[in-house]
Amino acid sequence: MSILVCGGAGYIGSHFVRMLCDQGDDVVVADALFTGHREAVDPRATFYPINIADEVALRELFEAHDLQAVVHFAAYSQVGESMKKPLDYFENNVAATLTLLQVMRDFQIPHLVFSSTAAVYGDPGNEDLTEKTPPRPMNPYGESKLAMERMIHWMAEATGMTYMSMRYFNVAGAWPDGTLGEDHRPETHIIPIAVNASLKSRPFTIFGSDYPTPDGTCVRDYVHVMDLVAAHLLALSALQKGAASSIYNLGSGSGYSNGAIVRAVEEVTGVPFPVTYGPRRPGDPARLVAVSQKIRQELGWTPQYESLRAIIESAVRWHRAHPEGYSD
């Protein structure tokens, strides 16, 4: 019996695949390598360089393996890009997931762990977000993930499949020894960009300084990629033991402003860097902070790397060891 990981060559997916292989599971990875890296895929996994929107290739994969569950990370995930290319997000995220679900239905795969996002909540003002906060996406990325969640929900109602939808807040950090990490091209996320500004003297701009937050810059809730993927292992195991479908927020419960991120990166690297203040980035809510009590209580999730410093230290380790990122 195997686990299929869609998007297993991506930043979060590759960390999850390694963790699954470490615990002895048989892992199959499907990744079109639009944004992922072949080098990031654990060599113990069986790798298919396919797009999950390719129904013929996907059916062949499902025929070839006795799959007990799917963990689905494959998607475009940049808020700013989604504002410029909304239809790409509906095609690559929603339409491709529809194909995946149809194949899962036909092969009667009993469980799905789904990579969702805090972007489904939109702009909640100062409210801390629980899973009961009504979703009101304010960008096509969040809208596409919400549509995927709803498709999964209704398919599960009809087929008896069970799922867990994991709404991530801001994921950062790297495998602790610096051998896996974050390498988006182009990079859009604040922590890797700030780390590169510090280590490689690259320019750095904070988008927006007039938000209704204490220092005027956006506030986000950062979760270490290792804690995030550990939560997926818990979700998978709970589903396999018969847990009901559920939705979980995954964050730390602490909000850090973009200005605070800059200071924290400078502290870890010891290298200050100049900061420019630019206009707001379209689609950005002012503040996103999670209440993640539900997954702690129901699945026993206990983050191991809760401090912002620990997250940034691991990111710096990865960037120092891989100044140019992955080789592919």
Positions touching ligand UFG (CB under 6 A) are: 77, 79, 117-119, 169-170, 188-190, 193, 205-207, 218, 220, 258, 281, 284, 288
What phi and psi values does residue 3 have, to the nearest 5 degrees? -110, 130
Nearer to ligand UFG, 84 or 105 (CB): 84
CB of 38 to ligand UFG, least distance (A): 22
Residue nearest to ligand UFG (CB): 218
Contact 82, 76 (CB under 8 A): yes
Residue placing its CB nearer to ligand UFG in the complex, 274 or 300: 274
Q: What distances in angstroms separate CA 264 from CA 256, 270, 275, 313, one per listed residue? A: 10, 10, 13, 10
Query: Are 292 and 298 a contacting pair, CB within 8 Å?
Result: no
Give the residue with the Cβ less far from ligand UFG, 1 or 278. 278
Q: Strands 256-257 and 219-220: what pairing?
A: antiparallel
- Name which of 8 and 10 has its Cβ closer to ligand UFG: 10
Residues whose CB is less than 8 angstroms from the CB of residue 173 and which lie 6 or more positions away in sequence, other chains included: 191, 224, 225, 226, 305, 310, 311, 312, 314, 315
Number of Cβ within 10 Å of residue 244's Cβ equals 11
The smaller minimum CB distance to ligand UFG, of residues 222 and 305, is found at 222
Quote the CA–CA distance of 288 and 125 in Å, as a whole number: 8
Look at residue 317 and give its three-state secondary structure. Answer: helix
Residue 211 a catalytic site member: no
Name which of 67 and 193 has its Cβ closer to ligand UFG.
193
Q: Which CB, 12 or 112, lies closer to ligand UFG?
A: 12
Catalytic one of 76, 89, 121, 141: 141
Tokens of 251: 């964050």
CB of 205 to ligand UFG, least distance (A): 6
For residue 108, the minimal CB distance to ligand UFG (Å) is: 31
Residue 126: CB minimum distance to ligand UFG, A? 16
Give the integer Cα–Cα distance in Å for 12 and 123.
24
Closest by Cα among 3, 104, 109 to 46: 3
* Contacts with 69 (C-beta within 8 Å, 6 or more apart), sequence order: 3, 4, 109, 110, 111, 112, 113, 236, 239, 240
| Radius of gyration for the alpha carbons in the chain, expressed in angstroms and rounded | 19
Distance of closest approach, residue 206 Cβ to ligand UFG, in angstroms: 4
**Whole-angstrom Cα distance, residue 56 to residue 105?**
15
Q: How far apart are CA 170 and CA 59, in angstroms?
A: 33
Smallest separation (angstroms) from ligand UFG to the CB of 237? 25
User: Min. distance of Cβ 8 from ligand UFG in angstroms?
Assistant: 17
Residues assigned a catalytic role: 141
